[in-house]
Amino acid sequence: MKRRDFVKNISAIAGIGFIPCGLAGIQGPEKGHGPKQRRQVMVSGKRMLTVDIHCHSYVHDVWPLISDSEEIGYLRPLLKSPVREKIAIPNVEFRLAQMDQQGIDIQAVSLHVGQYHHWADHDLASQIVSIQNEKIAELCSSHPDRFVGLGAVALQHPELAAQQMRHAVKHLDMRGFMITGSVNGMELSDPKLHPFWAAAEELGIVIFIHPRNFPAGQSRLGGNGRLDNVIGNPLETTIALSHLIFEGTLDRFPGVKICAAHGGGYLPSYSGRSDHCIEHASKFCKAVGKLPSRYLKEQLYFDSLVYTTEILDHLISQVGADRIVLGTDFPFEMGNAEAVDHVLSVPGLSDQAREAILGGTAAGLLGIKETA
């Protein structure tokens, strides 16, 4: 199948679609050649379990609830586009084919970040998230050996979000939840969100922080280069994590499991500056439980989506191999279809470390039995 034809035919199962924007580098089985053999990832002769924590879907069933809203922004063209009908055609086999080709055993499936409707009031948000989580659960139950769910929450209503988490974990087998880097201008460290973090810690599930650009800096991120994504996304994550550290959220909820998308943004590469402020500029940086860099090595996790072997090697040196999990950003053009190979190509990495990054650590976070 040619790439342009794939974009036209990408589709959905049980109301879950695979977003038709930005799919460069994603290829399906070629016509006439039949299904490709599932890639098995081996390290020193041992079969590795590979778990991708960063992969998206789209739940179309919420359209009737939001289609009249002025808040849906760039999603509106999709509502009016003829491609929407093509997206609605069940085609989970394509997703499985891509996983097989890339060597991904299990995906932790989350929403497209544009489906986090933080503008919705309490009742509407309750309905939206209920549908989204049920559809993610349906996809996962259709192939329980290949998918686990990272659900949605209405974080603009913290108490509701806590209730949604408890319900989804207990009744839908959700293994974690994806949230954005801020909520309507509110930082994730805001005390209003303490009920959410308390519930996450209580349930023992992973929270995957995925930015939705950098809302506070949009005026400077226009022009060529898609800067709202290329720079804005990692910057949003950097700021979110920094607030969680400096405002004491990670001290208040030490058992919470947080994984940051895109390698944690810029923070792992410049955490020494945060440490320096604590040690030498206490007038501006009040002491927290430990040096900021230690939170990165002891309490936070990061996906491997940093695009090159060299940068992944650097990330490992900053936070440790045991804090990194595989991430592809399926199926977007900003994703990395070669994520497995980047892990395998890091020089000097032990077999144990490769096993942890490829799937061992994520399996622990997501409650997956480590069998491949």
CATH number, domain 3-366, options 3.30.9.10, 3.40.50.10490, 3.50.50.60, 3.20.20.140: 3.20.20.140
Please state, in angstroms and rounded to a whole number, the distance separating the CA atoms of residues 349 and 372. Answer: 21
Neighbours of 47 (CB within 10 A): 12
**Cα-based distances in Å from 130 to 212, 286, 302:** 21, 40, 28
Please state which of the ranges 85-99, 105-119, 198-212 shows the lowest mean pLDDT. Answer: 85-99
pLDDT in tens, 148-200: 999 999 999 999 999 999 999 999 999 999 999 999 999 999 999 999 999 99
Among 104, 112, 91, which residue's Cα sits nearest to residue 53?
Answer: 104
Q: How many angstroms from the chain centroid is the CA of residue 275?
A: 27
Please state, in angstroms and rounded to a whole number, the distance separating the CA atoms of residues 43 and 277. Answer: 41
Neighbours of 62 (CB within 10 A): 23
Please state, in angstroms and rounded to a whole number, the distance separating the CA atoms of residues 103 and 82. Answer: 33
Q: Identify the sign of the CA torsion 346, 348, 350, 356.
A: negative
Residue 279 has pLDDT above 70, yes or no: yes
Alpha helices in the chain (DSSP H): 3-9, 63-66, 76-80, 83-87, 92-102, 122-142, 158-172, 194-203, 227-230, 232-246, 249-252, 267-280, 292-298, 309-319, 339-345, 351-355, 361-366
Could you tell me which residues come within 8 angstroms of residue 179 by beta carbon, excluding any fewer than 6 positions away?
116, 153, 155, 188, 207, 208, 209, 210
Q: Which residue has the tokens 């919470």?
A: 256
Among 309, 306, 303, which residue's Cα sits nearest to residue 349?
Answer: 309
In the chain, % of residues over pLDDT 70:
84
Longest dimension (CA), the chain: 68
Please state, in angstroms and rounded to a whole number, the distance separating the CA atoms of residues 346 and 341. Answer: 9
pLDDT confidence tier of residue 114, bands split at 50, 70 and 90: confident
Q: How many angstroms from the chain centroid is the CA of residue 335?
A: 11
Please state, in angstroms and rounded to a whole number, the distance separating the CA atoms of residues 363 and 175. Answer: 10
- Give domain limits for the chain: 3-366
Residue 365 has pLDDT above 60, yes or no: yes
pLDDT confidence tier of residue 28, bands split at 50, 70 and 90: very low
Rg (CA), the chain: 20
pLDDT in tens, 294-332: 999 999 999 999 999 999 999 999 999 999 999 999 988
Please state, in angstroms and rounded to a whole number, the distance separating the CA atoms of residues 80 and 82. Answer: 7
Confidence at residue 74, expressed as pLDDT on a 0 to 100 scale: 62
Confidence at residue 79, expressed as pLDDT on a 0 to 100 scale: 57
The overall average pLDDT reported for the chain is 87
Among 256, 251, 257, which residue's Cα sits nearest to residue 286?
Answer: 251
